[in-house]
Structure 1
Amino acid sequence: MLGIRFVKVEPTDFVIQYRRGKVVREGTGLSFFFFAPSTSLVRIPMGSTDVPFIFKEVTADFQEVSVQGQLTYRVADPKKLSELMNFTVSAAGDEYSSEDPEKLPQRLINLTQVLTRATLKSLPLRDALGQSGDLVDSIQRGMQTAGTVESLGIEVLGVSILAIKPVPETSRALEAEAREMILRQADEAIYARRNAAVEQERSIKENELNTEIAVENKKRQIKEAQMEAKKSVQRMEREISEAEMEARISLEQKNADLVELSTANSRKEADSRAYAVAAVMKALSNTNPRILQALMSADMKSGQLVAMAFRDLAESADKIGQLNVTPDLLRELLNSDKS
C-alpha cells in the first residue's frame, strides 16, 4: 500500500537498511516498516552454514583420488561481506536480487580445493588415503591465513574430510594387495601360533622332565637319608651288642675268677676238714669201738637205740637160739620215742 512494506528479520540474520545511499538502521532480529521505492535492504545470514564438497585431485605418484567432505562457516563481519558482495533482497524481503549469495559457498569450496591440491600433490597415494586428519589440519591452517576469507569477513568453523577414494581400478588393486597382505599376516599369525604352541609344549615337557628329575633326586635323597639312618641304627646296635658282649665277657671273667676262688676256698676247706677228720681218726684209732659207740649213743633217741640193739642182735644171731618180738613191744618202743 503506497510502497510501504513491513519486514521482520530472524535473530540469525543481519539486516542493513539503506535510504538514499545512507545506512538508516542495522542489526539482527529487527522488524520495521520501510518505504520500498527509496529503501534498499541487505540481509546477510549470520548462522553457521554447512557446504558439502567433492572433487578429484592427483597425488604425488599421479594417482587420481576423489575427496569428499564438508565445510562449515559463518559470517563474522557482515559489513565487510556487504561491501564486497551483493546481498540485497527484493522489496518483499523473501529473495535475493543477485546471485552473489550463491557464489559465496563456491568461493570457499574453490579455496578448499586449492588447499587440498597443495597438500595432496606432495603425498603418495597410500599416505593420502590414510592421512585425512593431516589434510584437515592443513586446510584449516590455510583458511585461517587466506586473505580471501578474512577480507570477506568469514569465519571457518570446521572442515571435515568424509572420504578419500581412489579410482575403482586402483581401489581394486589396493584391495587385492591389502587382501594378500592380510592373508599373509594371517598365515604368519597361524605359523606363529603353531610355533608358540610347539614352544609351549616343549616348555611343558621340559618342566615335566625337570619335575621328574627333581622328584627322583628327592627320592634319592630320602633313600640316602633312610640308609644313613639305618646305618646309624645298625652302628648303634653293634656298639650296644659290643658293649653287652664286653659286659658279658667281663662278667664271665669275674665269674671264672669267682669260681676259681670258690674252688680254691672249697679245696682249702676240704683240706682243712680232711685234716681235722684225719686228726680225729688218728686220735680215735687207738680207742675201743665200744667206747665210741657208747659216746655216740649218748645223744641218740630211743628209736635209734632200739635200731642199734637190733643190729647188735643181728650180729650175734648165731649165738641166739630164738627171739620173739611182739608188735606190742615195737609199738611201745616207738610210742615211747614219740613221747
Structure 2
Amino acid sequence: MLGISYFKGQPSDYIIKYSGSRKTRAGQGLSFFYLRFNTQIVAVPTQSIDCPFVFNETSRDYQVVSVQGQLTYRIANPEKASHLLNLSIDTKSGGYKSEDLRVLGQRVVNSLQIATHEEIEKRSLEECIRDVQAISDSVSQRLAKDPTLESFGAELLGVFILAIKPTPEMSKALEAEFREQLLRRADEAIMARRAAAVDDERKIKEKELESDSALEKGRTELIELQGQNMLREAENRGKAIEIESTSKAKALAQELAALSGIDPKLLLAESIRVLGLNAEKVGQLNITSEILAGLLNAPTSNQGTDSSYRDR
C-alpha cells in the first residue's frame, strides 16, 4: 500500500542495501524493511560454491582425453565482488537479476582448464591416466595463485579431478593391450611353474642317481670285502690242511719209526688182530701160503696153493 516491503536475508549471504545511489546498510544475513521504489538489494553468497566440469584436452602423444571433476570456491571479499558483479536481487522473484554469478563460475573453470591443459600436454596418454592425483594437486596449486579469482574477491577451496579418460576406441585398445599383458604374465607364470617342476624333477633324479651310485658303491665294496674274506678263508683252510697233512705225515713217520724195531711177525700178528676187531667190516680176506709161512716161519709146501679163510 505504502510501497514498503520486508526483506529477510539468508545467513550465508552478505547483504548490501542501497537507497537511491547511497549504500545504507551492509552485513551478513541482514533483514529489514525497505521502500520498493528507491531500494536496491545486493546479496553476495559467501558459502562454498561447487562447479562441476567436463572438457577435452590433448596429451603429449596427440591423444584426446576427457577430464572430469569438480572445483569448489567461495567469495571471500563480498565488497570487491559486489563492485565487479551484478548480484542485485529481484525482490519480487527473489532471484538474481543477472547471470554474473554463473559467469564467475565459468571464469574459474576456464582458469582451471588452462592450468590443466599445461599439465596434460606434457604427459603421454598412459601418464595422464596414471597421474590423475598428481595433475589434480598441480592444478590446484596453480589455480590458487591465479589473479582472476583474487580480482573477483574469490578464493579456491579445492580442485578434484575425478577421472581422465581416453576416447572409447583408445580405451578398447588399452584394454586389449593390458589384457595381453595379463595373459603374457599368466603364460610366464605357467612357464616358470613348469620350469620349476622340471628343475625339481631333475634334482630328484640327481638324488636318485646319487643314491643308486652310493648303493652300487657300497655293493661293490661289500663284494670286494666278501671276496677278500673268502680268499682269506681259503688261504686259512689250505694252511690248515697243509698243517694237518704235515702233522699226519710226522705222526706216520714217528709211528713207522717206532714200528721199525719190532719183529715183523709181531707186526703181522697185530695186523691180523686189528682186522679181527673190525671183522664186521671185512667182506673177504685171503691169506696166502707165503704170508702164513712167514707168520709161522715154515717153508711153503706147494706154490700156487692157497689156504683161504673167509670171514664174513
TM-score tier (shorter): 0.5 to 0.7
Per-residue CA deviation, residues 76-100 of structure 1 (Å, 9 max, x unaligned), is 1111111111101112361111111
Per-residue CA deviation, residues 40-61 of structure 1 (Å, 9 max, x unaligned), is 1110111112111101111111
Distance 1:137 1:32 in 2: 44
Question: In 2 relative to 1, CA 203–40 (structure 1 residues): closer, same or farther, beyond 3 Å?
Answer: farther
- In the other structure, the counterpart of 1:161 is 161
Q: Secondary structure at the match of 1:175?
A: helix
- In the other structure, the counterpart of 1:134 is 134
Distance 1:134 1:2 in 2: 61
Per-residue CA deviation, residues 65-116 of structure 1 (Å, 9 max, x unaligned), is 1111111111111111111111011123611111111211111111111111
- In the other structure, the counterpart of 1:82 is 82
Q: Which is helix-richer, 1 or 2? A: 1
Q: CA RMSD in A?
A: 2.5
Question: In 2 relative to 1, CA 39–181 (structure 1 residues): closer, same or farther, beyond 3 Å?
Answer: same
Task: List aligned pairs for 1:207-226, cutoff 5 A.
Answer: none
Is residue 2:22 matched to residue 1:29?
A: no
1:167 positional shift: 1.2
User: TM-score, normalised to structure 1's length?
Assistant: 0.59
- In the other structure, the counterpart of 1:173 is 173
Distance 2:62 2:174 in 1: 15
Q: Contact 1:7–1:31 (CA<8 Å) still a contact in 2?
A: yes
Is residue 2:45 matched to residue 1:45?
A: yes
Q: Secondary structure at the match of 2:182?
A: helix
| Greater Cα offset, 86-95 or 109-118 | 86-95
Per-residue CA deviation, residues 180-204 of structure 1 (Å, 9 max, x unaligned), is 1111111112222333344456567
Question: Computing the radius of gyration over CA atoms, which structure comes out larger, 1 or 2?
Answer: 1
1:29 positional shift: 2.0
- In the other structure, the counterpart of 2:96 is 96
Q: Contact 1:7–1:93 (CA<8 Å) still a contact in 2?
A: no
- In the other structure, the counterpart of 2:54 is 54
Q: Secondary structure at the match of 1:18?
A: strand
- Count of residue pairs brought into register by the alignment: 217
Tell me which amino acid in the other structure corresponds to 2:94: D
- In the other structure, the counterpart of 2:295 is none
Is residue 2:114 matched to residue 1:114?
A: yes
Unaligned runs of 5+ in 1: 220-339
Distance 1:12 1:200 in 2: 74
Task: List aligned pairs for 1:185-224, cutoff 5 A.
Answer: 185-199=185-199
Unaligned runs of 5+ in 2: 219-312
Distance 1:111 1:178 in 2: 35
Distance 2:73 2:203 in 1: 64
Question: In 2 relative to 1, CA 184–31 (structure 1 residues): closer, same or farther, beyond 3 Å?
Answer: same
Calculate percent identity across the aligned residue pairs.
47
Task: List aligned pairs for 1:143-292, cutoff 5 A.
Answer: 143-199=143-199
Distance 2:203 2:80 in 1: 77
- In the other structure, the counterpart of 2:13 is 13
Q: Secondary structure at the match of 2:129?
A: helix
Q: Secondary structure at the match of 1:88?
A: coil
Q: Secondary structure at the match of 2:185?
A: helix
Tell me which amino acid in the other structure corresponds to 1:166: P
- In the other structure, the counterpart of 1:336 is none
Question: In 2 relative to 1, CA 20–63 (structure 1 residues): closer, same or farther, beyond 3 Å?
Answer: same
Question: In 2 relative to 1, CA 99–194 (structure 1 residues): closer, same or farther, beyond 3 Å?
Answer: same
Tell me which amino acid in the other structure corresponds to 1:52: P
User: TM-score, normalised to structure 2's length?
Assistant: 0.63
1:21 positional shift: 2.3
